[in-house]
Chains A and B, each alone.
Chain A
Amino acid sequence: MSATHAAHGHHDDHGPAKGIARWLTTTNHKDIGTMYLVFSLVMFLIGGAMALVIRAELFMPGMQLVDPGFFNTMTTVHALIMVFGAVMPATVGLANWMIPLQIGAPDMALPRMNNFSFWLLVAAFSLLILSLFMPGGGPAAGWTLYPPLVLQTGDALPLAIFAIHLAGASSIMGSINIIVTIMNLRAPGMTLLKMPLFVWTWLITAYLLIAVMPVFAGAVTMLLTDHFFKTTFFTAAGGGDPVLYQHIFWFFGHPEVYIMILPAFGIVSEIIPTFSRKPLFGYDSMVYATASIAFLSFIVWAHHMFTVGMPLAGEMFFMLSTMLIAVPTGVKVFNWTATMWKGSLSFEPPMLFALAFLFLFTIGGFSGLMMAIAPVDFQYHDTYFIVAHFHYVLVPGAVFAIMAGVYFWLPKWTGHMYDMKLAKLHFWLSAIFVNVLFFPQHFLGLAGMPRRIPDYSTQFADWNMVSSIGAFGFGLSQLLFVYIVWNCARGGAKATQHVWDDARTVSLEWTVPSPAPYHTFEEAPVVK
């Protein structure tokens, strides 16, 4: 793709407001993107601290540090924070920063709603964290909030449910904004099949979000009325059905996994061609594979609940449809590998994280295929094998891709290069410790260790100790990431406009100076 050079006049009268007012009232997509990313980092550290409480308790058998109720609260709130407060806002932050820059738009289509959806998220997570201090403790029924267990939650329940509603509303508003922006504000000449892959994956993700966040909101609204208004949606004694909740939850929950991973696919699809010095192999098939994964995500939900007891035909359907997801995912892995084939590869930090993503996400994908087999899942269900599987998908999968994206675009945002040696050190520490942390959990799960327990049989002691050492190593390594980003924001070697080798950077964000001016593409570029 080539673009006629856009005019980037300086508009001093349109610069950012001063002080705190800038951040409270901003409607600028770059400011809001930055706020989402900082918020996500804070949540990542809070959720990570909760994970360390969990791993510290599991360092050895017996009850050491916390009581079982608090342990359950930690597993629940850690998951809610990481899913809705860390991973999703990080990808929304990247979308806010990069989508207008990549499609040649002056800003998001609905800038005021953009600001509102960010601050709604802050309110949501303030409420969720405050729920930890309510009488009876925080929510402790797992992030799935299954009834009837969740209905035993104390005063934290309405806070947690309100927090989920607010976070959901924020996500829906963000998604509407992204769809409307992409569909209406693309630069002249940028047809859908000329859009960068990151934009494509976010367009599909945004449709997924609009389709499934209201489903989750409906489910938790019904929980709320069951708890406070004596309805019996999920109470068998009143004619309701607890399994109905599981169906509704997972109709949301499985696409939610793809909501977290599709933007990660987009980021990796930007990085691998750049550092292979080749165009992406099979662009069109990448788009169709993304759309296929999104479609299939709606028809596989019951593989999360094979053990509730369902007809054999149902098990067969959900087993086979789940396996089918391996086809478009395989297309993607093949295309990324083929992009690197005979490329002139270099291994800067974004590429290192993208490569680790490729290998480690694939491990998570393979363990997912194992669990898709219904009779095998009966053995794995609710064991640490499941914990290992989804953490491989979400940590060296989604989180590594987000870090790759930050290292890729950070010089464009700040105008400075970061310390490459430290960033590579951060990569190697993260890549080693993430495997020390999660790989032994496969062994624990296969040996029968249940998930969500604060104490365990002594036969599981060794691998739990190894896993906890990995957790602390991984957690401490992330402080290095904070330091690198902080340092880069404050100063450093000047980044060029193209940042990376200019032969490799073909999309529109590389046509603006580094750092990207406060307002860009006020005159739309023409894409040829």
Chain B
Amino acid sequence: MSEGRASTGTTAEQRRRIRRTTILLVLVALGIYVAFIASGVMKAQP
């Protein structure tokens, strides 16, 4: 099985940093998505 290959070769500190960076980047992407729809809502006020 090749499951979790990266995890087996990584330290606890690396895994913590991987988790933290991933969550941060997901939040950035979602934030940009919501912000641009919000900009459309603001612009489309009659």
Binding site for B on A (CB under 8 A): 14, 16-17, 26-28, 31, 105-112, 172, 175-176, 179-181, 183-185, 210-211, 213-215, 217-219, 221-222, 231-233, 238-241, 244, 248, 518-519, 521-522, 524
Contacts and interface: CB of A to CB of B under 8 A. Distances in A.
Given A107-B6, A179-B21, A524-B9, A184 B14 contact: yes
B5 A111 contact: yes
| CB-based closest 8 A-B pairs | A239-B46, A218-B36, A214-B33, A214-B32, A106-B9, A107-B5, A107-B6, A240-B44
Given A176-B22, A176-B25, A213-B29, A111 B44 contact: no
Given A215-B32, A217-B33, A218-B33, A185 B43 contact: no
Nearest to B43: A244
Given A183-B21, A238-B44, A244-B40, A210 B6 contact: no
Contacts of B1: 14, 17
Contacts of A106: 5-6, 8-9
Given A184-B17, A185-B14, A214-B29, A233 B40 contact: yes
Interface of B: 1-6, 8-10, 14, 17-18, 21-22, 25-26, 28-30, 32-37, 39-41, 43-46
Contacts of B36: 214-215, 218-219, 248
Contact of B37 (A184, A222, A518): A222
B29 A210 contact: yes
A122 B7 CA distance: 26
B46 to A, nearest CB: 3
A214 B27 CA distance: 11
Contacts of B30: 214
B43 A27 contact: no
Nearest to A211: B32
A184 B44 contact: no
A105 B44 CA distance: 48
B37 A27 contact: no
B45 to A, nearest CB: 6
Nearest to B34: A218
A176 B9 contact: no
B29 A231 contact: no
Nearest to A16: B2
B25 A210 contact: yes
Contacts of A244: 40, 43-44
15 contacts: A28-B2, A31-B2, A109-B22, A110-B18, A175-B25, A176-B22, A179-B21, A180-B22, A183-B21, A184-B21, A211-B28, A218-B36, A231-B44, A238-B44, A239-B44
Contacts of B28: 210-211
A109 B44 contact: no
A176 to B, nearest CB: 5
Contacts of B8: 106, 522
Contact of B2 (A26, A184, A521): A26
B17 A28 contact: no
Contacts of B45: 239
A17 B1 CA distance: 7
A221 B22 contact: no
A175 B24 CA distance: 13
A109 B6 contact: yes
B3 A27 contact: yes
A185 B8 CA distance: 12
Which residue, A112, A213, A218, has most C-beta atoms of chain B within 10 A? Answer: A218
B43 to A, nearest CB: 5
Contacts of B21: 179-180, 183-184
Given A215-B36, A218-B40, A172 B5 contact: no
Contacts of A215: 32-33, 36
A519 B5 contact: yes
Contacts of B25: 175-176, 179-180, 210
Which residue, A109, A110, A217, has most C-beta atoms of chain B within 10 A? Answer: A109
Contacts of A232: 44, 46
A14 B2 contact: yes
Nearest to B37: A218
Given A27-B4, A185-B10, A180 B44 contact: no
Contacts of A112: 3-4
A111 B29 contact: no
Given A222-B37, A248-B36, A111 B22 contact: no
Contact of A248 (B3, B40, B44): B40
Contacts of A14: 1-2, 5
Nearest to A245: B40
Contacts of A176: 22, 25-26, 29
Contacts of A110: 6, 18, 22
Contacts of B17: 183-184
